[in-house]
Amino acid sequence: MPPSEIAPGVYLIEGLGQAFLYREADRLTLIDTGLAGTAPAVLNAIAALRRKPADLQQIVVTHYHADHMGSVAELVERTNAQVLVHALDAPVVRGEAPEEPPQISELERPFHEAVSKNVPPAPPSRVDRELLDGDGIDIDGGTRVVHVPGHTAGSIAVYVPKRRLLFVGDAAGRDPEGRLLVGVFNVDPAETRRSFAKLAALDLETVCFGHGAPLDKDASAAFRRLAEKLAR
């Protein structure tokens, strides 16, 4: 069964940390990989689209947390895809540096403790390209890296301007009722709010989150309303 198509050529692979396949005529791009052990689900999704593992040519990691980069190493072994990560998070992805612990609020603590029990460690992976703010990624004619520090130092969002499409990682999310939220479990909560304001300035129609259902219409209005509320 094919994965859910949330926009033309964009497919959701669900899990604790969601992954997204971006299909083009000549290749596939994966944005995040989910937990360690998610590689079979990704490969099954590729097969359901009648593509081969070798068609997965690049993996963009929005940040180093194990629910987003958990299956990078296994997918690289199976596909030889290139791995793209922000320069500040790349040492953690490679296993050369430890994660910076988040600042957990009392409100976040019970949820963080419950979720952390279900997250296996992520094996380290090679990184083929270290990204910076404003860099281009060759997806669908040109995609821009937006550095959104706060959740981690090197968190990024991936913006496809011509489609008004954004892959936001954990800089924002949606709760089970569909409410838009600023990302939680952040190394720098104040920086996360500033990064959210940066995203709210983009021209958006559809936003794909690491956690929560995609926002598939009028995303700019939703982001700007929350950014204005946070600025009060």
Question: In terms of C-beta density within 10 A (0-12 exposed, 13-18 middle, 19 or more buried), how is residue 98 classed?
Answer: exposed
Residue 1: per-residue pLDDT: 66
- CATH architecture for residues 4-231: 4-Layer Sandwich (3.60)
Give the mean model confidence (pLDDT) for residues 212-218: 93
What DSSP line would sit under 120-147, residue for residue?
PPPPP---SEEE-TT-EE-STT-EEEEE
- Please answer whether residues 199 and 167 qualify as being in contact, where contact means their C-beta atoms are separated by less than 8 angstroms: no
Map residue 57 onto helix, strand or coil. strand
Lowest mean pLDDT segment, chosen from 16-25, 95-104, 111-120? 111-120
Q: Are 172 and 182 in contact (CB under 8 A)?
A: yes
86 forms beta bridges with 131
pLDDT at 117 over 80: no
Q: Mean pLDDT, to the nearest integer, of 189-207?
A: 97
Specify the pTM.
0.95
- For 116-226, list the strands marked E by DSSP: 129-131, 136-137, 143-147, 156-160, 165-167, 172-174, 180-182, 206-208
- CB count, 10 Å around CB of 55? 17
Average confidence (pLDDT) over 178-204: 96
What is the per-residue pLDDT across 73-115, written as a single tens digit (0 to 9) for each?
999 999 999 999 999 999 999 999 999 999 988 888 887 887 7
